[in-house]
Structure 1
């Protein structure tokens, strides 16, 4: 990040929070060499990181009215979903108030009745849950040490499932170290019906778990992918080709 200007440098009890900018992109970092979130300033609603793009795949399977996001970061997923899906209701949960404040200040988050951002520990929040069940629940829980391993616990996965509608999906952003983890896959298959995954090739392994089996064929997925690509501003088909049954 030597060629970037440091716009913001603060810290809370969990570690540093830094914002970098080169005039084209803006980056949120939680540690040296870390890039937690990135936006293109001219189009902040178009996802830049590969793993966040991969996390949108369930939009092919369901037309959501409500989405939950555990872990706000710079709010890139929130921003993309808000602009891509008319009328969508989004609730994001973020542990660190300082992260919420910097995201709102530097990352052009949408505001209004359709967006709620809650300052809470996601693993505790999900025990009581959202006011209403969501169609898609996305987890992107990372700290200065890496992925929050609590997302692998049975109780967390079960609580997530309780907050998802009967035809809904859970999306887990995992670090590559957990790719095809047999215990995680076994737990998910016990709780969910349709479990798929994809390796983004950039260090992240994204898991998709549906409460109902999705039977869209290749032709239907391709057509849906073309439509979704227009909505989101990037090619979704590249992630379809990487997806496999877990």
Structure 2
């Protein structure tokens, strides 16, 4: 069916259209394909002033869910400056499935492509953008820290849907590179669900033995080890640091030969619960809604079910509301929203209820704490969460993670007693 150009004259909130056409920027120098994939998304919330922006899909990333799916496109729009319509332009991939590996090109080669594609973008602009003449098209650059990546596994879970396990080589701001294993969901592809550090064999260090091909730069068969002793997700260290609020109490428990207990809602790859069990000596109950996620965590992230760790497949919030036969010293909540339309947010809305928070307080011991990873989609969400926590718990502490996305909140059942030096 032919595409009617009139379609793009009006802005329709949340409308998503994809199509292909001959690539106007085809040339041997630009390394482009004959056909161009165009994806057009109108913002669900329209800014006061109409504005059109475009992103040129990075070369070799055309099949990445970030650029090839509506949820990924929406997340790009929601994290960009206010835009009425965001258009993604990239080479038409030969397959709809994610490519097995990716290597970042040496140069972006974008300025010439922008010039060649601008007439097309003007033609795709809504009529409201022409009030003062030809619209100015904004080009947003997409950059992340991935230098190389290779897909380790791809599965579909009954709750989370399609997921990917990837080995990636990343480059920090200081130019230092390291390897990570990551878990991503197709429903929220721009968000890294879990990640751990992996070490090529021969680098030493106390890491778990595991074998597998990194396949970066053709180095087929390079072995690696999982380093579960280091927390690399930015918010995990602050979550663990929150435990220090009841450090004196936990020390008393340990001196009395009582192993502290932690309930973790949300397992993902298992980095947090593994650290609590192996490094801090907690007896951990990990609750994950999707059995496939747990299977992936065990197979690819080194998670081990054992004497000090019990793993459950169920709705963690419902399980907590129903109650436990035992009480916990710590509850860790690492749950995010499953609805991409609301943007990346945590915890989910169903957790931000007085009844749920009261259930959490009843599951905790008298000196217990609730630790929550928070990614507020709006200021009002954060304010409501703070209000509900203060209605139920005694004291509330905020830990700044050091980025613009996350906060860690720690709520206490009882007042924190100051440590007394002996």
The TM tier, using the shorter chain, reads 0.7 to 0.9
> By how many angstroms is 1:114 displaced?
0.9
Structure 2 residue 194 is matched with structure 1 residue 37: yes
Equivalent residue for 1:210? 412
* CA-CA distance at 1:9 after TM superposition: 0.9
Structure 1 position 61 matched with structure 2 position 245: yes
Task: State the match for 2:371 in structure 1.
Answer: 171
* Distance apart, 1:165 and its partner CA: 0.5
The alpha-carbon deviation at position 194 of structure 1 amounts to: 1.1
- Give secondary structure in 1 for the equivalent of 2:305: coil
Query: Matched residue of 1:60: which SS?
Result: helix
2:392 is matched with which residue? 191
Q: In the alignment, which of 156, 163, 168 is matched to residue 356 of structure 2?
A: 156
Is 2:246 aligned against 1:46?
no
Bigger-Rg structure (1/2):
2
Number of aligned positions between the proteins:
218
**Shift in Å, 1:204:** 1.1
Distance 1:90 1:111 in 2: 10
Q: Which runs of 5+ in 1 are unaligned?
A: 221-246
CA contact (8 A) 2:147 2:168 kept: no
Aligned-residue RMSD, C-alpha: 2.2
Please say if 1:71 is aligned against 2:266.
yes
The alignment partner of 1:10 has SS state of: strand
Once the two structures are TM-superposed, the CA of residue 150 in structure 1 deviates from its matched residue by 1.4
Residue 279 of structure 2 corresponds to 84
Structure 2 unaligned regions, length at least 5: 1-145, 170-178, 199-206, 208-226, 251-258
Give 1:179 deviation, angstroms.
5.7
Q: CA 1:83–1:179 in structure 2 vs 1: closer, same or farther (change >3 Å)? A: farther
- Would the aligned equivalents of 2:168 and 2:182 in 1 still touch at CA under 8 Å? no
TM-score calculated relative to the size of structure 2? 0.49
2: CA distance, partners of 1:104 / 1:143: 23
Q: Deviation per CA, 1:20-69: give whole Å up to 9, x if none.
A: 01373211111323211111124213111111111112321222710000
Question: Matched residues in 1 for 2:323 and 2:181: separation?
Answer: 32
Range 20-29 or range 96-105, more displaced: 20-29
From the two aligned structures, give the one with the greater helix fraction: 1
Pairwise CA distance, 1:79: 1.0
Match of 1:182 in 2: 383
Worse-superposed segment, 162-171 or 186-195: 186-195
Tell me the alpha carbon deviations over residues 156-212 of structure 1, each in whole angstroms, 9 at most, x when there is no partner: 111111111110000111113356833222221121111011231331121100011
- Cα 1:179–1:115 change in 2 (3 A) is farther
Q: Show the 5 A alignment for 1:79-118.
A: 79-86=274-281, 88-118=282-312
In the aligned structure 1, how far is the partner of 2:304 from the partner of 2:231?
15
Give how far 1:143 is off.
4.8
Deviations, residues 122-160 of structure 1 (Å, cap 9, x unaligned): 121111223311000011112553432212111211111
Q: Is the 8 A contact 1:30 1:143 kept in 2?
A: no
| Structure with bigger RCO (C-alpha 8 Å, 6+ apart) | 1
